[in-house]
Amino acid sequence: MEIQLSGLVKSYQSEGRTVRALDGIDLHIPANQIFTLLGPSGCGKTTLLRCIVGLETPDEGEIRIGDQIVWSHSKRISVPPEKRGLGMVFQTYAIWPHMSVFDNVAYPLQVRGTDRATTRNKVRQALQFVQLENLENRPATRLSGGQQQRVALARALVAEPKVILFDEPLSNLDAKLREETRKILRRFLIELGITAVYVTHDRVEALALSDSIAVLNGGRIIERGAPQKIYFNADHRFVADFIGRANLIAATVLQQDPGFTTVQCALGTLRCQKRDFAVGAEVTLCIRPEFLLLSQQADAQETNSPAVAQDHTDNIIEGRIESLDFVGEVYEAEVRVADQLLLARVDPTVQVSQGDTVRFLLAPEHGLLVMD
């Protein structure tokens, strides 16, 4: 079931001033996808989710779920939450501690007056789907965090919703359990084949779970696209910075050539990924740490510039390692290049030390140019 949001506005009064939590949101969420709303705290993502489910009332705009308008300011339509056909999993799970697993999952059906036989059958199917079929009589207080998350998912699924919405459901789990539960959740949602709208501020969670991502800031959608597009080919500095660790360097476009764009920056003259900027434009160069490849064999050329474009495929960036931290699979290095401090990742098998002068290769396709 697809979701269409048009001109959605929601404002709050705070300390005597008006704050726009949603500032004219236009968004199409395709059917049968895992669609993530990603952004920092206060960007409007949870407010947007709550407007879709009906827990918040927008000031302007329209919300359509499938062929049904569930809220419209101009048409004076307001369908209550329980009649929108949606399931919701909250950040706190909202598991009732005095109930068993079975009763927690059965609650939505009991409220609707579903007969006992149908309720028992549907609850057992939902628990089997989330792999908790042997725990239906266990008190909710005896569940782990991951199990409680799956009970909340089963409760949202038992009423067979058209869309299921998640408000940061993994944020209360520790890092290892969050990773394991994320994989299980994605598998469940793919098997279900229904529309899922997922809210998070965790970039790794968004990249791993999603079919599509919309990045929000200040109540507006800054950019949307597939996870790979958002990470590797962002259009905006905010998105490139928020979605992953990045070196961000002011640059000026020198020339446009077939296949790449040449810029001047504090690192020198670099050939970068092709972007349609005018010559002379002030842009930001985004370099991910994993794309700075250490080259001990690179031929040094005598130059006053810290970066030398050797040919049409590689740039060489020379600098001095100021810090080197072992974090397991890699070393994280801070490299001083002119007045810039770059973050790079170094394979632990490479013999380098703090204070060493090193050279990095940057493939032009990994030099991303973005607008501010």
Q: pLDDT tens, 167-188?
A: 998 887 788 878 888 888 898 8
Identify the residue whose tokens are 């950040």: 91
Q: What is the pTM of this model?
A: 0.86
Return the structure tokens found at 133.
């079929």
How far is Cα 229 from Cα 365, in angstroms, rounded to an integer?
Answer: 13
Identify the residue whose tokens are 């049409």: 312
pLDDT of residue 31: 95
How far is Cα 154 from Cα 109, in angstroms, rounded to an integer?
Answer: 12
Residues lower than pLDDT 50 in the chain: 297-313
pLDDT of residue 314: 63
How far is Cα 245 from Cα 304, in angstroms, rounded to an integer?
Answer: 29
Identify the residue whose tokens are 């670099």: 270
Domains recognised in the chain with CATH numbers: 3-237 (3.40.50.300), 245-370 (2.40.50.140)
pLDDT of residue 313: 47
Local structure of residue 354 (DSSP, 8 states):
T
Radius of gyration of the chain measured on its C-alpha atoms: 25
pLDDT of residue 173: 77
The alpha helices in 41-115, defined as continuous H runs, are 45-53, 101-111
Q: In the sheet where 247-257 sits, what is the strand order?
A: 268-273, 260-265, 247-257, 282-287, 368-370
pLDDT of residue 296: 53
pLDDT of residue 310: 43
Q: Give the residues across from 326 on adjacent strands.
A: 331
Sign of CA dihedral 127, 133, 139, 145: negative
* CA atoms within 13 A of residue 336's CA, in its CB half-sphere: 10
